[in-house]
């Protein structure tokens, strides 16, 4: 009887949707999709909370353990202290997974550390998904995307391969994405203090966009306005203060780890890793040499664009330059921040008449994004995947020309939503 009623309800709903206008049907479909998604998420969350599995080998394990130690006054950067905490939730490795993020990150992790692992994991994954979806939606509006195609932003962001890797690894990088987009949105609306505070959220992984910091500094000096720097400094100080409230030595412990126990056993996809392979893996300082190239490029770039600096136009380039010369990180899951140039290019494509160019760029992008999956069975060294951001940059640069071949609102023009507006550079 229940099945019969459910079938009848589905048939009636389908008949009703066919009779409605296209706009109404679209709203009904979107609403139904959200209801189904929320219901499935609720069922999965209830199951995981009621019967949590052993801790999977992902990065939330290190975040949770570090937050728990710091909340109890322990050393979140000590592998000796982390190992028993991680072993208690099912980790079988003989060596602990260290948390490498700076001390202010602990302010975000301690609430998870004081909870049980299972519920904390569910909330963490939900937070990461929300960060990707919210960041994508906000980026679409900042770049002036068409309101009727707004659904493309969360779809492309959540379907991106780096997003898949970030969620599978329970990585914190989606919060970096949200922080960067929030910074861009606030700055474009003239809220410089809020923009700096938003950048503090992204600073849980500052090495991934390190060239943004000198740009913020020089831009503040150029405009004789310290609101952005003040917002960034106050937010970082507040977050660090929260972490030190339970562990006053958090900053000293972090610096001690970086000086005496740097993450030298890992081989991230960076130029620095290749330098270590050539001149000695024990020379960890070589990881930082490419930053000199990045800063040199930034100096030339700033001198060229100083007078017409526009964050909506320059941020994607700074992200590429930072990732390609990063001292550490830049793993595939870190590339989730490249959702920003992806959505920017998509807004161009939606306004471009060059259909052949759009298809060519789209196919090339799909090939680049799926290539790591094809190479995964070979179990190559992670450093090999350095080619991914390089290939994406080589695709993004011509896209700037190919997709802007027709008259369209310049970057910096008002978006359809007056609440999010990109202000022209002074």
Q: Is 265 helix (H, G, I), strand (E, B) or coil?
A: coil
Q: Can you tell me the distance from the alpha carbon of 299 to that of 189, in angstroms, rounded to the nearest whole number?
A: 26
Is 23's pLDDT higher than 80?
Answer: no
**CB-side exposure of 125: number of CA atoms within 13 Å?**
20
pLDDT at 33: 54
In this structure, is the dihedral angle defined by the CA atoms of residues 347, 352, 355 and 357, taken in order, positive or negative? negative
- CB crowding 94-131: b at 16 or more within 10 Å, else e: eebbbbbbbbbbbbbbbebbebebbebbbebbebbbeb
Measured in whole angstroms, the distance separating CA 175 from the mean position of its chain's CA atoms is 5
Enter the tokens of residue 349: 């494509």
User: How wide is the angle at C-alpha 92 spanned by C-alphas 276 and 170, nearest 5°?
Assistant: 65
Measured in whole angstroms, the distance separating CA 254 from the mean position of its chain's CA atoms is 23
Residue 232: exposure state from Cβ atoms within 10 A (0-12, 13-18, ≥19): buried
Q: Is 133 helix (H, G, I), strand (E, B) or coil?
A: helix
Q: Helix 2-19 vs helix 22-50: angle between axes, to the nearest 10 degrees?
A: 150
Q: Can you tell me the distance from the alpha carbon of 211 to that of 321, in angstroms, rounded to the nearest whole number?
A: 8
Is 329's pLDDT higher than 90?
Answer: no
Q: For 237-249, give the DSSP string.
A: HHHHHHHHHH-TT
Q: What is the domain partition of the chain in residue ranges? A: 60-402
pLDDT in tens, 349-406: 998 888 888 999 999 999 999 999 999 898 888 899 999 999 999 999 999 888 875 4
CB 396 within 8 A of CB 345: yes
Q: Can you tell me the distance from the alpha carbon of 28 to that of 58, in angstroms, rounded to the nearest whole number?
A: 37
Banded model confidence at residue 41, pLDDT cuts 50, 70, 90:
low
- Across the range 101-110, mean pLDDT stands at 96
Banded model confidence at residue 223, pLDDT cuts 50, 70, 90:
confident
Enter the tokens of residue 408: 């369209």
Least-confidence region, from 25-34, 63-72, 122-131, 306-315: 25-34
pLDDT at 112: 93
Enter the tokens of residue 134: 């919210």
CB 399 within 8 A of CB 196: no
Pick the most confident of 42-51, 265-274, 409-418: 265-274
pLDDT at 352: 86
pLDDT at 90: 79
If we measure between CA atoms, which residue out of 176, 177, 135 comes closest to residue 154?
135
């Amino acid at each position: 009887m229940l099945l019969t009623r459910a079938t009848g309800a589905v048939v009636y709903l389908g008949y009703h949707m066919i009779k409605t206008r296209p706009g109404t049907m679209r709203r009904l479909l979107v609403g139904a999709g959200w209801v189904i998604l929320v219901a499935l998420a609720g069922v999965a969350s209830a199951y995981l909370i009621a019967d949590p599995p052993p801790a999977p080998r992902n990065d939330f394990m290190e975040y949770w353990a570090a937050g728990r130690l710091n909340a109890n006054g322990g050393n979140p950067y000590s592998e000796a202290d982390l190992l028993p905490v991680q072993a208690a939730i099912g980790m079988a490795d003989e060596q602990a997974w260290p948390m490498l993020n700076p001390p202010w990150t602990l302010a975000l992790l301690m609430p998870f550390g004081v909870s049980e692992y299972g519920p904390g994991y569910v909330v963490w994954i939900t937070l990461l998904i929300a960060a990707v979806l919210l960041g994508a939606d906000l980026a679409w509006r900042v770049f002036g995307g068409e309101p009727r195609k707004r659904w493309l932003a969360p779809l492309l962001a959540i379907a991106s391969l780096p997003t898949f890797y970030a969620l599978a690894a329970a990585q914190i990088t989606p919060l970096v994405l949200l922080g960067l987009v929030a910074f861009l949105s606030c700055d474009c609306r003239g809220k410089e203090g809020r923009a700096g505070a938003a950048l503090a959220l992204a600073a849980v992984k500052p090495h991934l966009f390190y060239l943004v910091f000198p740009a913020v500094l020089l831009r503040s000096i150029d405009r004789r306005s310290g609101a952005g720097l003040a917002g960034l400094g106050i937010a970082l100080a507040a977050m660090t203060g929260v972490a030190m409230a339970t562990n006053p030595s958090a900053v000293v412990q972090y610096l001690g780890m970086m000086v005496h126990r740097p993450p030298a056993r890992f081989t991230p996809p960076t130029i620095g890793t290749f330098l270590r392979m050539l001149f000695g893996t024990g020379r960890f300082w070589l990881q930082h040499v490419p930053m000199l190239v990045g800063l040199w490029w930034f100096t030339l770039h700033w001198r060229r664009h100083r007078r017409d600096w526009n964050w909506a136009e320059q941020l994607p380039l700074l992200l590429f330059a930072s990732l390609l010369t990063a001292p550490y990180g830049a793993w595939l899951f870190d590339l989730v921040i490249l959702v920003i140039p992806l959505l920017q290019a998509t807004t161009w494509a939606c306004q471009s008449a060059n259909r052949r160019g759009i298809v060519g760029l789209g196919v090339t992008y799909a090939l680049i994004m799926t290539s790591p999956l094809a190479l995964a069975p070979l179990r190559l060294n992670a450093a090999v995947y350095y080619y991914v951001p390089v290939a994406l940059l080589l695709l993004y640069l011509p896209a700037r020309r190919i997709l802007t071949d027709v008259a369209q609102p310049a970057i910096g023009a008002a978006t359809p939503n007056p609440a999010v507006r990109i202000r022209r550079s002074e």
